[in-house]
Structure 1
Amino acid sequence: MADLVPADDRGFTLGDGLFETVLAVDGDMPRLAAHLARMAAGCAILGLPAPNARAIREAALQALGAASLMAGRAAVRLTYTAGSGGRGLDRPAALAPRLVATAAPSPKPLAPARLAVASIRRNDRSPASRLKTLAYLDNVLAREEARAAGADEAILLNTLDEVACAGAANLFWIEGKAMVTPALACGVLGGIMRASVLAAAPALDIEVVEVRAGLDRLLAADAVLLSNSLIGLRPVASIDGRAYDPWPKLAVIEASSFAVEL
């Protein structure tokens, strides 16, 4: 764990790195291995050495302790940068990645979310759209646009006007008896909770379909859900003022998804 990030850190200057946000409950992080596997896969794509799993676990626990969050729900942010050095865009010949772990309270949202479709597009042609990189400015701007419209969260379409994701969550929607979610090729991050839902659904006799779909298909849904590691599955109340009903199976699949071993 690093207490001070120098001014020449490539994560600070260029967004060169990755991060994970891990749910901790009473000091336990049951999905940590899945988050570290995703980070390692992202490192392989970015050309970074994979982080040491034991060092990350120790740093996460230290962060929880330092924030007095060993009880209750907390979000542990793991930031892994390419380290210092290099001129301009070029990395130094010898990389020395830097890890920073922090923790903050993370109460589960109780109210359904209100969504607004953002004007910003997800770049589905970029490999970064499927990684949790430090370059999240599009997501920040989309969220700000949604908040200005009176919503809680943004929906991002991709460059082909296909539904991609929310600002900080994956999307699911209900069509009759089927759950539908955008395919990763739409420029979608492979969320940990998303993967859990996909793994849990068959045992509950719920069909989950990955699609490339336009906004009209989403708007015509019976119900809409957000998913990420911190919120689990959160119902959506409205999209640009269009109201949606609750999904009766939400609690069942959410509980089953958290029980799945990834």
Structure 2
Amino acid sequence: MQVWMNGSFCDLDEASIPVTDRGFLLGDGFFETMRAHEGKIAWLDAHMGRLDHHAELIEFPLDLLPETEEVESVVQTLFEQVHRKDAVVRMTVSRGPGERGILPPDSPDPTILITAAPFDPIDPNVGLVVATSEKVRRNAHSVAGSIKSTNYLDNIAAKQEARKYGADDAIILSADGHVAETSVANLFGIAGDSLWTPDEDTGILCGLARDYVLQWAEEAELEISTDPKTPEELREFDAVFTANALQGLRVVDRIDGYVVGVPASTFFTKLALKVEESLCNGIVV
């Protein structure tokens, strides 16, 4: 298995980082996870735009990131070893080696890694069981929480907690106790012909699948609400689902042990199909 690191391909077991790498020592870096179908990344321009946004927030020089055309070429090469129609591609960016201390070097020498691994799409109607995290809360003012930081400890802790409850994923609340997101996806609720999702000020990481769903809903002239909800209030929806740029949409069957919504919702099924078509064709709504 090969990976791409710092401008060249190498075998996975030969790839290495310096012991002074800030991404390893301090979580000083970010990443992006992308879906590739038959060698092409879905929503690539949007993913590259998010990488730029991550870089700007932590004052990482944009000119050190790979160009879109280079990423396309790298992924096509890595895809040849996947032997599936779909792959999960991850680009990880660390600020690279640095002196001891918190402040980064003025001229970073980053570590940039791109990997590809087989991915099997999941039927969106195979329901998720989720449980509300008691440990973790989202902070709307957190820099790390507003990007895909290489420090993912909050998400890891929430996922571990969910597993102890016998759930697939965790619902993470905002600082004031309202529903924010799961450990890996954004949340939506369907009520009749209207759509609900948590507001950005809950501290969520707004994903590309969330953007797609909201844009589709606006073009369909559906009512969209972002009013605060508690986990208990989610039970009132016709359907609850998650949105993630890798997995697409997934219906939620149970929240904290309670059955939620109607999995066979026509609204959800239609929307899930559109998202999956977009992920396979790379077409943004």
TM category, shorter: over 0.9
Shift of 1:70: 5.7
Alpha-carbon deviation of 1:159?
Answer: 1.2
1:250 lines up with 2:268 in the alignment: yes
Given that 2:131 and 2:162 are in contact with CA atoms closer than 8 Å, whether structure 1 keeps it comes out as yes
Instruction: State the one-letter code of the partner of 1:115.
Output: V
Matches within 5 A, 1:220-235: 220-235=236-251
After TM superposition, the structure 1 = structure 2 runs for residues 160-175 of structure 1, keeping only pairs within 5 Å, are: 160-175=176-191
Deviations along 1:139-185, one digit per CA (max 9) or x if unpaired, are 01111111111111110002111111001011001223211111111
- Is 2:27 the partner of 1:15? yes
Report if the CA contact (8 A) 1:63-1:76 is conserved: no
Distance 1:56 1:87, change over 3 A: farther
Instruction: Please state whether the residue corresponding to 2:181 is helix, strand or coil.
Output: strand
> SS at the partner of 2:40?
coil
Q: 1:214 to 1:240 in 2, by over 3 A?
A: closer
Pick aligned residue for 1:80 from 93, 105, 110: 93
Q: What residue identity is the alignment partner of 1:117?
A: T
* Counterparts of 2:132 and 2:210, CA distance in 1: 21
Asked if residue 236 in structure 1 is aligned to residue 252 in structure 2, the reply is yes
8 Å contact 1:27–1:70 — kept in the other structure? no
209, 231, 234: which one pairs with 1:193?
Answer: 209
TM-score w.r.t. structure 2 length?
0.85
Aligned identity (percent) is 33
- Matched AA of 2:59: G
Partner residue of 2:38? 26
1:64–1:102 CA contact under 8 A, matched in 2: no
Provide the secondary structure at the position in 1 that maps to 2:74: helix
Matched, 1:59 2:74: yes
Hey, what does 1:156 align to over in structure 2? 172
Q: C-alpha deviations, 1:82-112, integer Å up to 9, x for none? A: 1111322111121122210111222122321
Contact 2:132 2:231 in 1 (8 A): no
Alignment partners' CA distance in 2, 1:130 and 1:241: 30
1:182–1:212 contact (8 Å) kept in structure 2 = yes
Equivalent residues of 1:165, 1:188 under 8 A apart = yes
Output the CA distance in 1 between the equivalents of 2:84 and 2:122: 18
SS at match of 2:226: strand
Distance 1:61 1:14 in 2: 32
Q: RMSD value over aligned CA atoms? A: 1.8
1:89 corresponds to: 102
Match of 2:131 in 1: 116
Distance change (3 Å), C-alpha of 1:159 and 1:89: same
Distance 1:63 1:235 in 2: 31
Name the residue aligned to 2:11: none
Comparing 125-134 with 14-23, which one deviates more in the overlay?
A: 125-134
Structure 1 residues 59, 220: closer, same or farther in 2, change over 3 A?
A: same
Query: In structure 1, how many angstroms separate the alpha carbons of the residues matched to 2:106 and 2:143?
Result: 23
**Structure 1 length-normalised TM:** 0.92
